[in-house]
Amino acid sequence: MSWVRIYIHLVFSTKNREPFLNSSELRRKVFEHIKQNAEKKNIWLDSVNGWEDHAHCLLSLGRGQDISKVAQLIKGESSNWINQNDLTENKFIWQDDYWAVGVSESHVEGLRKYIHRQEEHHSKNSFAEEINEFMGKYGWSIMKK
Has residue 14 been placed in a domain? yes
The pLDDT score that the predictor gives to residue 126 is 66
Has residue 101 been placed in a domain? yes
Has residue 143 been placed in a domain? no
Taking the model in full, what pTM does it have? 0.85
The total of structural domains in the chain comes to 1
Has residue 145 been placed in a domain? no
Task: Walk along the chain (145 residues) in steps of 10 and give the mean pLDDT of each run.
Answer: 88 95 96 98 96 96 93 97 97 95 94 91 69 68 58
Domain that holds residue 65: 6-138
Do 45 and 59 contact (CB within 8 A), yes or no?
A: yes
Q: Any idea what the CATH number is for the domain that residue 112 is in?
A: 3.30.70.1290
CA–CA separation, 112 and 101 (whole Å): 14
The pLDDT score that the predictor gives to residue 47 is 98
Has residue 144 been placed in a domain? no
The pLDDT score that the predictor gives to residue 89 is 93
Residue 9, C-beta contacts closer than 8 angstroms, at least 6 positions apart = 56, 57, 58, 100, 101, 102, 103, 111
